[in-house]
Structure 1
Amino acid sequence: MSASDDYKRLQLALEAAGLDLWENDLVAGKVTHPATRTFQELGYTLEEVGDSLAFWMEILHPDDLPGVGAALEAYRDGRADNYRSEFRLRSKDGQWVWYANYGKVMSGTADVGMHRFIGVTFNIDDRKQREEELTRINQLLSAQNQQLDQMNGHLEKLSTTDPLTQLCNRRAINERLHRLVSTGQPPSALLFIDLDNFKKINDLYGHDVGDILLCQVAQRLQSCVDAGDLVARFGGDEFVLVIRETGNSASPFRTRIEYLCARILSILAQPYLVGDLMLSTYGSIGVVCFPDDGWTVDELTKRADIALYRAKHKGRNRYCFFQPNMETELQYQNNIETELRTALKTRQLELLYQIQVDRNLRPVGAEALLRWHHPVRGLLSPLAFLPDAIAGGLIHDIDELVLDTACATLGKWQQDPLLRDLTLAVNITARSFEHPAFADTVMRMLEKYRLPAGKLCLELTEHLKAQSFPDAAHIIDQLRAHGVRFALDDFGTGYSSLEALKHLKFDQIKLDAAFVADITDNTTSQAIATGVIAIASAMQIEILAECVERHEQLEHLMRRGVDRYQGYLFGKPLPQSAMEAAMHSTLGAQMA
């Protein structure tokens, strides 16, 4: 590492500790490196400061000059190992601000040739203004050789306190946990808490609003614990609680922790008022107990994090206690993610195509269906691996691969007189659809393969969240303007079907297989299908029935006015070449 890197790291460390580096040449009476941050706090520009010590002397409080001189003389004649002093400086608006100096000669000696007099300045105005803090610090200083120990105490506080929330920080938590496991104290619980949708608040309203929200969360968490329990900010929007067994409760310790978790979730879910904004966020909690879940700090923190991950995976705004099987399941998921990354690179993921027909049973398009040719487990449907892909952050890459492959197929069809009029439907996960770059990605594909309007249909499921509808509507409108069609898949199986239709524009509704399967003899399915078809007709939206496998189903659906059909009755999902051959055969025969 170069000297320049060392210097930058020193600068960063000093800034983090609130220290301002300076260097003076006392022989020449020059400022070699001004205390830039200090003068900026006081409202002065570097041009006003200049390179002479005269400016510093000019804004120094007259009453503090003797003390500064005495400290310097004590260092010069060897009565002090360091130069240490406190003084007031006049800000540009006339206010007096307290600072402390700590310095040493780095070139020459203290009594001769003070060419490189280097030190740090730090603001102590708050301490001077608060009598209680001043008393505490003075007691600390008297026990540790006055001003030198003040600096050590300040640095120690910085090293164990989160500057934003004033809670303990990660280091303090680790120290408490190490004491806990080394002394074998009574049972304790470690709670990892993560805020849900905090990043969205930061993105929408800015980090200043996010910081205020974090401070309010810190206050709420502190209100939930007893004296002796520890609340800390682990970093970002993560908080940690260490709860100890006091023996004062008649309830079992785990029951007490369960009650505490429920209370924390309830308190965190209450609205937050930040200025004129009314904000909402929730929490997820992972819990481990000492000594049941581990005897080392690494075991406890790792397993608390696993439990937190499980809580978020199960739907967020909930708590979860660590169970041994969670580690095994997590390892399995990690293995799946690794295999999926390999599958993406080695083209193990393939699209199969299933034909779609109109009321005349003429092929009008197909749906692209993703499959994974797993080297050990065989052919896998998306249900077997997409949840792991979403959890592992791979879903965007997979959806982009699917979209690119499908658009390439459509582009090829445009060169074939028999296939050029076919449409192609592609399933898009809600996670990818909500990605900020999704619309740009689709439009790039349209341009790349020169696709005409109306050929690409994107199928969305009801997993779109209601709070995402405004953004979803904007994306749909943007892409429909470029000729992309949209279908609402699995219609009727979720609670948000009608809500989605109310806020979003769809070109097609896909009647779910759950209603098609028993449409001939189940009056409930018949009633639902009739209602869906009526809604689609009233809104002038095309309706497609999927998973049609029997002629009786087809006849029943035709009588009810369904526009298009898909299912084994017309063809199983096939590789691209086989599907194209089947299309050629069918369309060629119909044209003959």
Structure 2
Amino acid sequence: MLNGGPASDDHERLLLAIEAAGLDLWENDLVAGKATLPATRTFRELGYSREEVGDTLAFWLEIIHPDDRPAIENALVAYRDGRSDNYRAEFRLRARSGEWVWYANYGKVMSGSVETGLNRFIGVTFNINERKHREEELARINRLLSAQNQQLDQMNAHLEMLSGTDPLTGLFNRRAMNECLHRLTRSAECEAGVLFVDLDDFKKTNDIYGHDIGDILLCQVAQRLQSCISADDMIARFGGDEFVVLIHGRGEGGVRTILEAACERILNILGQPYVIGDLLLNACGSIGVACFPTHGTTVESLTKRADIALYRAKRQGRSLYRFFDSGMELDLYNRDSLEKALRAALKTRQLELRFQLQVDRNLRPIGAEALLRWHHPVRGLIGAMEFLPDAVASGLVHDIDNLVLENACATLGKWQHDPELRGLSLSVNITARAFDSPSIAPAILALLAKFGVPPEKLCLEITEQLETRSFVTANTAITHLREQGVRIALDDCGTGFSSLESLKSLSFDQVKIDGVFIRDINTNTVSQAIVAGLIGICRAMGLQVLAECVETPDQMEYLLEAGVDGFQGYLFGMPLPCAVLEAGVRDAPQSQRG
């Protein structure tokens, strides 16, 4: 071939193309172990001179990273054995500066055979350092992302655990219990019971001792509940002081027998005293029970009916357990209707006061008791005892107490401007629960000031038996009111041990003997003994005694001889509208006026 011919031009163009592509052409004689065409561009990039490189393969092998040599050998063996169409390897070469630079080698044998051995080995080398660094950066980012994903998985697992756990007690929460109940309701062969457990008067504990003590109490309750069930059962805190227990039916005796035994255990252990620091607290509970599938086959029906049963347990005295029955649902509906009507009654002034006269030993009017009546648009006049229990349960009793107190004080204020009536006092029934509020005493004193009423003209009758643990808060309000002149009476005295406990622990001005002892006072020796004992206690304590429900002259005569100070009952007048009572007092003979 002549110099400068077409073949020479093609060779030149090929070399230019290779150079433009950033490729470095090389050729090695593997038999002689020499580089017949060194990769001069590569060595120049690495900072080596032609003299340093020489024409052997020794220098090349010397600057290859030790970790990359196995990969090159494997690539050569794969090519030699026919497992690869050509030789391909990626490796790092050490630059004069000491830096490691990534390169790639692609090559093929141009002469020789497997039998005669490889000799003329031709290929290209090109710089892949930037690509490799990008890949390493991507790998680093992927490793970082993988680590972050692992952390996220751990966090999600922790959040999943927290999403089903009550953070205060460590029990399951409402969500976890509902999921378990959903699984239960999809099982056709399992019997179980859902127990709603609620602490009695837990709010009072929070109010008196603070939420920190209340939280510790809830944790102790959770621990006690856990000791009452087996490992197959489940407890969750639904919120506040409400816990839900799921107990599966197992063994002999039926699911109801198992649930009754569980309820007994729970009530017994919850009723034991709680020690929190220097405090010794009591916290009984009430339980409502619904059975699957007898009382419901959905989560909604089971939880609703267990809650209804709990409501019945609380209404019937607390520290009880009750199983759901269909009559409870109807009763709740009726009570809900009554509550709605009562709310409407408060807004439309259907509640009114009737006044029953009170007289002294000389039959002179000394005052009256304000008795609440509901002028129902359909049922007519309804006595307070027919709706007050529901008012207490629904929380409306506070609004009713406020209404009664304001109307009574307004009436007393009007009487102060009438010479014939200003001497009368007015007794007002107020539930013991009203004394749970720290604002009760200031509110009453503000009403007296608003209507210009001398405090001694108002007598507050406590109409509900006070529990022992209520004495501390009640006595604070009672003492403050008595210091300002308001009189306090203990109503229905003699009907239970709590009456004597109240007399011992609280401050009163007057005691009203319950009518149950007055009706047969002339013939029943037990009633006579109880009345005599109460009068003796009151005399020793300097308290005034008033007998209510006096209906006959014989009853009055007996009570006069026994030493009663005042009387109230049908013998002296029925509960009357205010105007009728006022007219009766004005029309009374002069000798019977106070």
Q: Normalising TM by the smaller chain, what interval?
A: 0.7 to 0.9
- Residues 553 and 82 (structure 1 numbering): CA distance in 2 closer, same or farther, change over 3 Å? farther
Offset of 1:279 from its aligned partner? 2.7
- Residues 377 and 160 (structure 1 numbering): CA distance in 2 closer, same or farther, change over 3 Å? same
Give SS of 1:292's match: coil
Give distance in 2, aligned partners of 1:404 and 1:235: 37
- Residues 163 and 505 (structure 1 numbering): CA distance in 2 closer, same or farther, change over 3 Å? closer
Give SS of 1:221's match: helix
- Residues 528 and 183 (structure 1 numbering): CA distance in 2 closer, same or farther, change over 3 Å? closer
Q: Which residue in 1 is equivalent to 2:439?
A: 437
Give distance in 1, aligned partners of 2:277 and 2:499: 36
Preserved CA contact (<8 Å) 1:362 1:587: no
283-292 or 455-464: which moved more?
Answer: 455-464
Give distance in 1, aligned partners of 2:506 and 2:217: 32
Offset of 1:268 from its aligned partner? 1.8
Matched, 1:496 2:498: yes
1:353 to 352, 355, 362: 355
1:150 to 139, 154, 173: 154
Give distance in 2, aligned partners of 1:360 and 1:574: 22
For 1:330, give the aligned amino acid: L
- CA deviation vs aligned residue, 1:18-70 (integer Å, no higher than 9, x gap): xxxxxxxxxxxxxxxxxxxxxxxxxxxxxxxxxxxxxxxxxxxxxxxxxxxxx
Give distance in 1, aligned partners of 2:284 and 2:529: 39
Matched, 1:222 2:221: no
Give distance in 2, aligned partners of 1:416 and 1:75: 102
Offset of 1:155 from its aligned partner? 2.1
Give distance in 1, aligned partners of 2:319 and 2:136: 60
Which sections of structure 1, spanning at least 5 residues, go unmatched?
A: 1-72, 87-101, 103-144
1:392 to 391, 394, 402: 394
- CA deviation vs aligned residue, 1:64-122 (integer Å, no higher than 9, x gap): xxxxxxxxx99973886795487xxxxxxxxxxxxxxx5xxxxxxxxxxxxxxxxxxxx
- Residues 578 and 83 (structure 1 numbering): CA distance in 2 closer, same or farther, change over 3 Å? farther
Which aligned pairs between 1:554-573 and structure 2 lie closer than 5 A? 554-573=556-575
Which aligned pairs between 1:537-552 and structure 2 lie closer than 5 A? 537-552=539-554
Offset of 1:522 from its aligned partner? 2.2
Matched, 1:77 2:81: no
Preserved CA contact (<8 Å) 2:165 2:171: yes
Matched, 1:233 2:294: no
Offset of 1:251 from its aligned partner? 2.0
Offset of 1:228 from its aligned partner? 2.0
Q: Which residue in 2 is equivalent to 1:403?
A: 405
Aligned length: 461
- Residues 359 and 210 (structure 1 numbering): CA distance in 2 closer, same or farther, change over 3 Å? closer
Give distance in 2, aligned partners of 1:209 and 1:489: 34
- Residues 77 and 369 (structure 1 numbering): CA distance in 2 closer, same or farther, change over 3 Å? same
Q: Which residue in 2 is equivalent to 1:180?
A: 184
Which aligned pairs between 1:513-592 and structure 2 lie closer than 5 A? 513-586=515-588
Offset of 1:467 from its aligned partner? 2.1
Q: Which residue in 1 is equivalent to 2:291?
A: 289
Report the TM-score when normalising by structure 1: 0.74
Preserved CA contact (<8 Å) 1:459 1:489: yes
- Residues 236 and 84 (structure 1 numbering): CA distance in 2 closer, same or farther, change over 3 Å? farther
For 2:162, give the aligned amino acid: L
Give distance in 2, aligned partners of 1:413 and 1:182: 69
- Residues 441 and 148 (structure 1 numbering): CA distance in 2 closer, same or farther, change over 3 Å? closer
Offset of 1:523 from its aligned partner? 2.3
380-389 or 157-166: which moved more?
Answer: 157-166
For 1:153, give the aligned amino acid: A
For 2:156, give the aligned amino acid: N
Give distance in 2, aligned partners of 1:150 and 1:433: 52
Which aligned pairs between 1:182-581 and structure 2 lie closer than 5 A? 182-246=186-250, 249-461=251-463, 463-581=465-583
Offset of 1:462 from its aligned partner? 5.7
Give distance in 2, aligned partners of 1:568 and 1:148: 79
Report the TM-score when normalising by structure 2: 0.74
Preserved CA contact (<8 Å) 1:284 1:317: yes
Preserved CA contact (<8 Å) 1:168 1:233: yes
Give distance in 2, aligned partners of 1:287 and 1:445: 45
- CA deviation vs aligned residue, 1:234-281 (integer Å, no higher than 9, x gap): 1222211111223xx222221011001111111222223333333321
Offset of 1:587 from its aligned partner? 5.4
Superposition RMSD in Å: 2.2
Q: Which residue in 1 is equivalent to 2:68?
A: none
- Residues 509 and 325 (structure 1 numbering): CA distance in 2 closer, same or farther, change over 3 Å? same
Give distance in 2, aligned partners of 1:484 and 1:199: 28
Structure exhibiting the larger radius of gyration computed from Cα positions:
2
Give distance in 1, aligned partners of 2:256 and 2:476: 48
Give distance in 2, aligned partners of 1:418 and 1:182: 76
Offset of 1:440 from its aligned partner? 1.5
Q: Which residue in 1 is equivalent to 2:43?
A: none
Preserved CA contact (<8 Å) 1:355 1:366: yes
Q: Which residue in 2 is equivalent to 1:142?
A: none
For 1:231, give the aligned amino acid: I
Give distance in 1, aligned partners of 2:436 and 2:155: 50
Preserved CA contact (<8 Å) 1:363 1:587: no
Give SS of 2:262's match: helix
Q: Which residue in 1 is equivalent to 2:130?
A: none
- CA deviation vs aligned residue, 1:476-514 (integer Å, no higher than 9, x gap): 110011110111111111222222222222211112212
Preserved CA contact (<8 Å) 1:462 1:491: no
- CA deviation vs aligned residue, 1:503-555 (integer Å, no higher than 9, x gap): 22221111221222122222222222222222222222211111222122222
- CA deviation vs aligned residue, 1:394-439 (integer Å, no higher than 9, x gap): 0010011011101100000000011111111111111123322211
Preserved CA contact (<8 Å) 1:462 1:488: no
Give distance in 1, aligned partners of 2:405 and 2:466: 19
Offset of 1:356 from its aligned partner? 1.1
Which sections of structure 2, spanning at least 5 residues, go unmatched?
A: 1-133
For 1:237, give the aligned amino acid: D
Offset of 1:340 from its aligned partner? 0.5
Offset of 1:214 from its aligned partner? 2.3
- Residues 566 and 209 (structure 1 numbering): CA distance in 2 closer, same or farther, change over 3 Å? closer
- Residues 562 and 275 (structure 1 numbering): CA distance in 2 closer, same or farther, change over 3 Å? closer
Give distance in 2, aligned partners of 1:428 and 1:152: 55
Offset of 1:206 from its aligned partner? 3.0
Give distance in 2, aligned partners of 1:237 and 1:191: 14
Give distance in 1, aligned partners of 2:178 and 2:291: 15
Give distance in 2, aligned partners of 1:333 and 1:265: 27
Offset of 1:332 from its aligned partner? 0.7
Offset of 1:466 from its aligned partner? 1.9
- CA deviation vs aligned residue, 1:346-381 (integer Å, no higher than 9, x gap): 111111111111122111111111111111111111
Give SS of 2:280's match: strand
Give distance in 2, aligned partners of 1:568 and 1:206: 48
Matched, 1:165 2:169: yes
Preserved CA contact (<8 Å) 1:283 1:317: yes
